[in-house]
Amino acid sequence: MNVVHIEDRGAVRVVRIDRPEARNAFSGEVISQLYRALVEADADEGVLAVVLTGADPAFCAGVDLKQAAVEGEAYFRRHRDEPVIAQTGRMRKPIIGAVNGACFTGGLELALGCDFLVASERAVFADTHARVGVRPGGGMTARLPSVVGTAWARRMSFCGEVVDAALALRIGLVTEVVPHERLLDRAVELATAATEPPADVLQAVKRMYVEGSGAPVLAALETERAIAEAGSTDLAALEERRRAVMARNRAQLAP
């Protein structure tokens, strides 16, 4: 089943996660297809920039806890074999996240690997790792502080609060909020602007950011990975906690 769709708009490749019935959570198919799509886009000489988005109503809900509870360690092994979350941060070419809806936990880690984010007015963000009893291992504690600052990063991770698009803009999590129907076109406009400089120069500038000012992030990724791997995951409790967190999030977002 095809759960990742690709569309080329000139030199910009749009990659869309298309599993809306599960809020675009990381099933085995999503992991494999999205990882392959991102690797292939980075290697394709005709692609100069990438836009990553999700099928409405969500960007990505992160780990598929139902599948994880059934498959156990095999599910998390797939994440290690095809590190789709890490791949956004490894792209040589510019990658812009177009956040169209819920962007939670592993989905937020996926988004944080992008060079910057543009959000729909419907976008909401949260880190629920601690709430569901999972140690983050996809870059949350490394990348989130570098984007929103240490205090807001800790508040999001400790409290599991849902951050709406307006607040995300104020704290620097996203660079722009646009009407929902304009989101993809605006992201493609920005990606197209990023294709105008010589590709080798732009990729060199990106490398400077990643290896220069981003050097503390690279070190923090190693620390996060080591601490995450030292813990264990109680898969039997994950689904119960997931349901409780979803109920809490719905209550937060209720008018």
For the chain, give the mean pLDDT. Answer: 91
- Residues whose CB falls within 8 Å of the CB of residue 112, separated by 6 or more in sequence, listed in order: 88, 89, 139, 140, 143, 144, 147
Q: Give this prediction's pTM.
A: 0.89
pLDDT for 84 beyond 90: yes
Instruction: Report, as an integer, the average pLDDT of 203-212.
Output: 94
C-alpha to C-alpha distances, 93 to 55, 100, 118, 236, nearest whole angstrom: 23, 22, 17, 40
Say if CB 60 and CB 107 are below 8 A apart.
yes
pLDDT for 253 beyond 80: no
Lowest-pLDDT choice from 56-70, 122-136, 142-156, 232-246? 232-246
> What pLDDT does 221 receive?
84
> What pLDDT does 255 receive?
55
> What pLDDT does 228 receive?
80
pLDDT for 154 beyond 60: yes
pLDDT for 218 beyond 90: no
Q: Above pLDDT 70, what percent of the chain?
A: 90
Q: How confident is the model at residue 248 (pLDDT cuts 50, 70, 90)?
A: low
Cα 94 to Cα 106: distance, rounded to the nearest angstrom: 21
Question: Which is higher by pLDDT, 24 or 77?
Answer: 24
Q: How confident is the model at residue 216 (pLDDT cuts 50, 70, 90)?
A: confident
pLDDT for 39 beyond 90: yes
Cα 184 to Cα 100: distance, rounded to the nearest angstrom: 9
Cα 162 to Cα 147: distance, rounded to the nearest angstrom: 17
Instruction: Report, as an integer, the average pLDDT of 95-107.
Output: 98
> What pLDDT does 51 receive?
99
